[in-house]
Amino acid sequence: IIGVVLSGGGARGIAHIGVLKALEEYHIPIDFIGGTSFGALIAAFYASGFSVEDMQKIIENTEWNIATNPDRQQYYYYSRRINEANVLRVRFQDWELKFPNSLGNTQEIVSQLDYFFTRANYLCRGNFLNLKTPLFISTTNIKNGENHIFTRGELPQVVQASMTVPFLLYPTLIDSTFYVDGGITNNLPISSMRDMGADIIIASNATNYLATDTDLTNITSFTNQLINIMMFSKIKDELTQADIVIRPSTKHIKNTEFSRFKELLTLGYYETYSHIDSILSIVKPNTYYYDDEKPLIPIEGKKIIIHGNSLFSDEELLSISEIDSLHYLYEIEKHVEDYYIKKGYLLIEIVKTNISSDEIEIELTEGLIDDVKIKGNAITNENVILREVQTYPGDMFNIFSIEKDIQRIYGTNYFNLVNFTVEPLSNGAVDVLFNVSEKPFGIIEAGAQYATQQGASAFVSIGHDNVFGKGHLIQLYVRFGVERQYGVRFSTDRIFNSNWNNLLHLYLYDDTENIENRYWNFRLESGFFDDTKLGMFSLVFDYRTANLEFEKTSSGIGLQLLFDNLDNMLYPTKGLYRKASYVRYDKALGSLNNFSEIQFENGFSFSLHKRWTLENWSRLYLHDSESSDIPENRLFFHKPEDTFYGFNYDEVKGEDIVYA
């Protein structure tokens, strides 16, 4: 039994693909494969049946920047604006502050692993020893601090656990225990491969190198050095148990330089080539090899009939132009499977084949969903989650649809992480289980601002963004400074299963330098949004007093149309923002005077270069009054009233404003 072990090493682990390429070219059989961290990813690809060429394409086309923030456009509008209002935001639960468990975007990594490994996990039924090449994955158990080897479980989650760099990615919860990067406890688990029964072990070591004196310049470099020293002491013991050790010369490449994948592939390939004589001296090459070692059953002259295909007809699956070049049954089966897989139907499975003298009958299952379930929601009502899911019992499992469901669930902003598992049933159908990890729902926010006229001001709030588990946000806030404000907001991003939302905002405004400029204000927005969450059309009711005694009110009703697909509200690099509103203040509504407010805002942003962005804003604010008597506190102020991120220099006040 020949086993191959792949170490961790971040981007340096890409060299493992070059190692596997060289072993394949010399027909070195691999009976067992295992790995840690990035090595676990490459090992899982190989065990799942991905070719070296497939892996190269994946590495080339994958965005490996885990520090990227989630796309703001996936959040609902009111949640999006609340998130962007202040410098500091801390969550709490049971009045205990809860700080983030990670700095990176774990959700993006999870979605990629789900896409790559859901099919393999389904076919092996969660037993990694039943994969095309038996597999084990090395992780670290946070609870007891020991190395843990997985040969069973949910393959995407286990690979995620082995790649979870502490602090950068959210720890992976498996069966009530958190796991992180296996490299912490054993970055090259050769002894584990020996325990699996391997007689000959080839180890590919892409572990980080120890830093030199010139590199040890700060606390970060010293911390990395200490971690590497601990890894090295364990690896030294492991290396003694390997028959062949391949050490690609990657010292000059950082473990974050994924862009140098071509160079890393080459380094791994040629380093393996330099050891090929030693390998061939102890390993007998497999010179007679074809795909999956399946029997070569010719299909010439036989009629092919497919059963169980409800999504695609026989004509679609067996297009003459595509199968003319196929000669054997296993090629036809792979062609049919690939047709489904490319369209997202990953659970296609050929369960039976009948062969007679003149025809071949292929029976398949397409991944019928029997039920959709939710797990992990201690507070959030199940219906609040399920209303985001557009995959239903009776549908066929489609990874593209599932990933959209996950994006919508994650876009509620109630969860740190969302993933799914597939549970096969005895009748050939499956249950889809969405697993959610809830955020603490208590929120404390704070911010500060300096304006040229009003001077410094500060903001602090406390709230809960999932009241009664129904997805409601309530927030109490205080604004300090020359202009004080005390208020409460209540918003619902989605009412029941509809695309309807609302906002109620009540506040007391107090100008400490002008006792005449104190008033109460109540505003209601209620409207609907499109399925993309980018456009919104709302009915607006606005009520404001002229003083604290509720005298001389201005009360109006109107419409607001909004579109926002900016990638960042403060410093956008791409996108468009447009807002148009009309509010009519009328005596019939209790207003002292009849007048109208009209507002237009238009902004766009696009990148000219990696470091240069063009941003433009234009605004038009107009009043239309029958008596030319606009209340003082209804004059337009162009300033970021609800954003506390620093200096505000572009304040404008007036009855009508044109601003660009």
DSSP string, 518-568: EEEEEEEEEEEE-TTSSEEEEEEEEEE-SSTT--S-EEEEEEEEEEE--S-
pLDDT digits (tens, 9 = 90+) for 169-193: 888 999 989 999 998 899 999 999 9
Residue 460 belongs to what H/E stretch?
A: strand 455-467
454 and 564 share one domain: yes
Tally the domains of the chain: 4
Beta-bridge mates of residue 534: none
pLDDT digits (tens, 9 = 90+) for 78-104: 888 777 767 788 899 888 888 766 667
What totals of helices (H) and strands (E) does the chain contain, helices first? Answer: 15, 31
pLDDT for residue 638: 58
276 and 318 share one domain: no
Strands (E), 151-238: 172-174, 177-181, 200-204
pLDDT digits (tens, 9 = 90+) for 5-32: 999 988 899 999 999 999 999 999 999 9
pLDDT for 287 beyond 70: no
| C-alpha–C-alpha distance, residues 524 and 560, integer Å | 12
* Residue 248, domain member (yes or no): yes
| pTM (whole model) above 0.75 | yes
* Residue 651, domain member (yes or no): no
pLDDT for 218 beyond 80: no
Max avg pLDDT among 190-194, 233-237, 285-289? 190-194
pLDDT for 348 beyond 50: yes
399 and 528 share one domain: no
pLDDT for 58 beyond 70: yes
Domain boundary among 311, 338, 365: 365
347 and 408 share one domain: no
| C-alpha–C-alpha distance, residues 574 and 564, integer Å | 11
pLDDT digits (tens, 9 = 90+) for 125-169: 999 999 999 999 999 999 998 999 999 999 999 999 999 888 778
586 and 619 share one domain: yes
153 to 39, 156, 184, 243, 605: CA distances (angstroms):
18, 9, 21, 29, 45
416: domain CATH number is 3.10.20.310
359 and 310 share one domain: yes
164 and 277 share one domain: yes
* Residue 510, domain member (yes or no): yes
- Tell me the pLDDT of the chain averaged across its residues: 87
Tell me the mean pLDDT in the region 54-75.
80
Beta 2-6 vs 32-36: how paired, if at all? Answer: parallel
Band of pLDDT at residue 318, cut at 50, 70 and 90: confident
- Count other C-beta atoms under 10 Å from residue 300's C-beta: 7
Domain boundary among 420, 438, 456: 438
* Residue 101, domain member (yes or no): no
pLDDT digits (tens, 9 = 90+) for 478-489: 988 888 899 999
| C-alpha–C-alpha distance, residues 480 and 564, integer Å | 30
Tell me the mean pLDDT in the region 515-534.
91
* Residue 289, domain member (yes or no): no
pLDDT for residue 648: 47
**Domain boundaries, position 568:** 442-642
408 and 334 share one domain: no
pLDDT for 331 beyond 50: yes
pLDDT digits (tens, 9 = 90+) for 563-613: 999 988 777 889 999 999 999 999 999 888 899 999 999 999 998 877 789
> Among 84-88, 398-402, 410-414, 545-549, which stretch is predicted with the lowest mean pLDDT?
84-88
pLDDT for 430 beyond 80: yes
Domain boundary among 384, 409, 438: 438
pLDDT digits (tens, 9 = 90+) for 554-573: 999 999 999 999 988 777 88
34 and 132 share one domain: yes
pLDDT for residue 649: 44
pLDDT for 291 beyond 70: no
